[in-house]
Chain A
Amino acid sequence: MNNVMTLWQSRKQEYWSTAVKYLRLIGNSGFLFAIYILFLFGSYYYGRFLEWLPENFPAVLFFTLVFAWIAARGRVRTFVKQADLVFLLPMEERMKPYFRSSIRYSWLMETGWITLLFLVLAPLYSDRIGQAAGPLLLVLLFLSLLKGWNLAASFEEQRIGDETTFRMHKWLRFFVNAGILFLLFSGLLPAAAISAFGAAIIYYLYFRKIKGTLQWQRLIEIENNTVRMFYRIANNFTDVPHLKESIRERRWLSFIYRFVSYSRRNVYKYLFARAFLRSGDYFGVYMRLTFLGVIFILAVDLSWGRWLMGALFSYMTVLQMETLRYHFHTSQMPELYPLPDKTEEKGLIYWLKILGILQVAIFTFAAGNVLDSITVLAASAAVYVYVIYYRIPKRNSAG
């Protein structure tokens, strides 16, 4: 028993020491500053957004669905690894305290996330439903308890071998959550409390009785899904080795590959095109940042705010796209290719130019009036020009 808890402690520590390393890297980059600026703009426009939001906005339903989803997703962090399939499998019987700690730990972490999300939504909450539903703190406590129930239930639930039945349980739990939360946010706290009590009884009568061994493969999958988001974010700032990204073919975009003709000089154009569209999150990040940039340019109605947003989002985008360069550094094969100098750099710059022109055009268009269009165009284009013609060549000659 002692052994198992030492294992738990060391696993937890191992995770946190890597997490802190990544967090420090993220903190040291310009990213936090960008977030801070967005936060300033965001808080100003939040108030105006609430004023603009129509009276008949279904706030109760909105809160119900958001928090039902947050509460229902399983996410017990067990810190299990692929190799545990071999090494811990024989210990399953003795692992109970380990998993109990996992659930407790996850509960703490998830409560933190729920609190954060609730604070972000707090103005909306007090503006629309606060009076009926009761004080913030009480609701938070309720949400936390509900999350605890979900974590405990989801852990028992993962023993179900059959994939369809397992999935059905997840959905049923979501609806139970939604029902309880609807009562809570509608201002029927006693009714919500009674139904939550009912849910607790169901846990003891039903979930605790689920038979079956642990589904290790599934536990590993849940664990991976839970940390993937974090690693993915960290991966934008540094190379995260344990992040195995799945490949998405995106066949509808395959016409883009035709821009690259068959030639020795185009080897890296060929490779980067596929890396950008299929692997990791390059394409998703590009689309999201472009979309967010448009939203912010549309929302901010100060001229200087607009070009600042344009430059900011272009900078965030190009920072991430630049990492394409390292994408193939883990493979030995390109090193062996008989290629002329700078093929890699030229390939990278080719795509950065195309992505840049596209994004700058979209931002310019979003700015609307002529004067703002010109300043947004100049600001965003300046960012790309700086990176493409100054930063990348310089970095290359240095390394």
Chain B
Amino acid sequence: MERLLELEHVDGGYQRTRPVLHDISFNVNRHEIVGLIGLNGAGKSTTIKHILGLMEPHRGTIKVDGQTIAGSPDAYRRQLAYIPETPLLYEELTLWEHLEVTAMAYSISEEDFQNRAEELLKEFRMTKMKNWFPDHFSKGMRQKVMIMSAFLLEPKLYIADEPFVGLDPVGIKSFLERMQEMRDQGCGILMSTHILSTAEKYCDRFVFLDQGRVLMQGTLLELQEQAGMPGADLDDIYVAVTEEDTHE
């Protein structure tokens, strides 16, 4: 299997003296959706910031498609699209302009941009709002803008931080279906979430984070085995292993 994202023994955090992440190692391969699972404050968003290159690991390496960010920042960044937890929009740009400027930044050809953008707008039912400003958008619409901007790039690797928050059911469905489609085409997807029932249904593998450490990782079957809970669902396993952890 081809590795798209590799984290090896990563320690990280805002201050060297007080690391938040401890020895994090996991991979995301092609044709795979990996769920990054953890409670609030488990270190999911910090892990993602390190992957994006917004924070630097104190120790260990992070590679996207075999490259580190220090080696070639442009090539590294171009491989991945990010869907943030809170939508980060430019208040002075219309929806269409958001898509356009993103496509420009990632060197998508103008023709590809037009075709993909129109299609995405239709799929996420936002064609009518094409020339609206974010001021008039609900939380869910804002999230859709971020999702569309990410899909527009057709990168190898998607990093999604709690992508469902605020989305309506149709939006969630479109998002997940497209994610699966991308996976089947050979993309890798890392999705952080604490909505475990959805994660269980759509993710191929899981990484459990707790207090900045990887608690467990593997497919659902592997996790059931490791926890000694055959047939249990993701919720139960997660609660059981984190409880165990706090008792220690």
Partners in one complex: yes
Chain A interface residues (CB < 8 Å from chain B)? 245-247, 249, 262-264, 266-267, 270-271, 274-275, 278-279, 328, 331-340
Q: Decide if B104 touches A267 in the complex (CB within 8 Å).
A: yes
**Could you pull out 19 A-B pairs where Cβ atoms are within 8 angstroms?**
A247-B133, A249-B133, A264-B105, A264-B106, A270-B97, A270-B100, A271-B90, A271-B93, A271-B101, A279-B92, A332-B84, A333-B88, A333-B102, A334-B105, A336-B53, A338-B73, A338-B76, A338-B107, A339-B105
How distant is the Cα of A336 from the Cα of B54 in the complex, in angstroms? Answer: 8
Known: A336-B82, A337-B77, A338-B77. A262 touches B104 (CB 8 A): yes
Interface size of B in residues (CB-CB distance below 8 Å): 28
- What is the CB-to-nearest-CB distance from A317 to chain B, in angstroms, rounded to a whole number? 20
Q: Decide if A274 touches B93 in the complex (CB within 8 Å).
A: yes
- What is the CB-to-nearest-CB distance from B95 to chain A, in angstroms, rounded to a whole number? 13
Residues of B within 8 A of A264 (CB): 104-107
Cβ of B244 under 8 Å from chain A: no
- What is the CB-to-nearest-CB distance from A251 to chain B, in angstroms, rounded to a whole number? 10
How distant is the Cα of A247 from the Cα of B53 in the complex, in angstroms? Answer: 31
Q: Decide if B104 touches A266 in the complex (CB within 8 Å).
A: yes
- What is the CB-to-nearest-CB distance from B155 to chain A, in angstroms, rounded to a whole number? 10
| Inter-chain CB contacts under 8 Å: number | 66
Chain B interface residues (CB < 8 Å from chain A)? 52-54, 73-78, 82, 84, 88, 90-93, 97, 100-102, 104-107, 110, 113, 133, 135
**Residue ID in chain A nearest B101 by CB atoms:** A270
Q: Decide if B78 touches A267 in the complex (CB within 8 Å).
A: no
Residues of B within 8 A of A271 (CB): 90, 93, 101
- What is the CB-to-nearest-CB distance from A334 to chain B, in angstroms, rounded to a whole number? 8
- What is the CB-to-nearest-CB distance from A313 to chain B, in angstroms, rounded to a whole number? 26
Residues of A within 8 A of B90 (CB): 271, 274, 328, 331, 333
Residues of A within 8 A of B101 (CB): 267, 270-271
Residues of B within 8 A of A279 (CB): 91-92
Residues of B within 8 A of A245 (CB): 91
- What is the CB-to-nearest-CB distance from A346 to chain B, in angstroms, rounded to a whole number? 14
Q: Residue A263 contacts which of B73, B76, B82, B104 (CB distance < 8 angstroms)?
A: B104
**Residue ID in chain B nearest A278 by CB atoms:** B92
How distant is the Cα of A342 from the Cα of B247 in the complex, in angstroms? Answer: 52
How distant is the Cα of A337 from the Cα of B84 in the complex, in angstroms? Answer: 14
Known: A336-B52, A338-B106. A331 touches B88 (CB 8 A): yes
Q: Decide if B110 touches A262 in the complex (CB within 8 Å).
A: yes
Q: Of B52, B88, B105, which is in contact with the most chain A CB atoms at under 10 Å from its CB?
A: B105
**Residue ID in chain B nearest A343 by CB atoms:** B105
Known: A264-B107, A332-B88, A336-B82. A274 touches B74 (CB 8 A): no
Residues of A within 8 A of B105 (CB): 264, 267, 334, 337-339
